[in-house]
Homo-oligomer: A and B are copies of this chain.
Amino acid sequence: MRPNLKDMESRYNEKQVQILSVAERLFSEQGFSGTSVRDIAGAANVNVAMISYYFGSKEKLLEAIFDYRISSTAIQMEHLLAQTHVDPFEKIEMLVDHYVDKLQNNTCFFKIMQSEHMKGHGNKDLDGIIFQSKKKNFDLISALIAEGQKKGLFKKNIDVSLMVSTLVGASNQIYIGQQYYKRLHELDDMPEEKFQQLLKKRMRVFLKNMFKAILTYEL
């Protein structure tokens, strides 16, 4: 699965994008420590020294990937939920669609994010970046939930953190483990593109129903 190049081409030149893109893919496949700068340089067809030259270090290369990817997604989410004329249920649907899209188009980055998230206390800078991103999502979705509750559409006593973790965790788990989904459902013969469409459709339906259920279901 290849990273989404287009978004990177503004701040960095062609060669830098090449390095960032390759690094993103390799980090996602082999982990940060499991990927050497020589792996990256080799796959990106550049000299090893270019990585230090452009990014300073391997660590800072990772930060560069995070820095951009996070800022680009946070803005879109804010935009999405700011629309006042859309009713809360529809916003939930938009939220799910948006997240699934992002996940499908940035699978590599989401994997890296999940990895770094698990390590925790590794890189202080990264930890800050990740927390800020989580906080923003939490606040945005909290507001959405509150709006729905105020209008009497959603039930009371909703733990937003658990809800967001469920969206993120469930989606990532499904996406990351899509090869298992394929094998379990004996879909190995299906062409890759068809399978991606199928998975996306099923995920959307499933997640939307799940959230409607969570938000309205009373014992």
Contacts and interface: CB of A to CB of B under 8 A. Distances in A.
Nearest to A209: B217
Interface stretch (A26-34, A48-56, A58-66): A26-34
Interface size class of A (residues with CB under 8 A): 35 or more
Total copies of the chain: 2
B176 A170 contact: no
Given A31-B31, A166-B166, A169-B174, A134 B180 contact: yes
Interface string A161-187: 110011011111110110111011100
Nearest to A35: B33
A190 interface: no
17 contacts: A30-B33, A31-B32, A31-B34, A32-B34, A33-B34, A115-B118, A120-B179, A131-B180, A134-B177, A161-B185, A162-B170, A162-B203, A162-B206, A165-B170, A165-B174, A166-B174, A213-B213
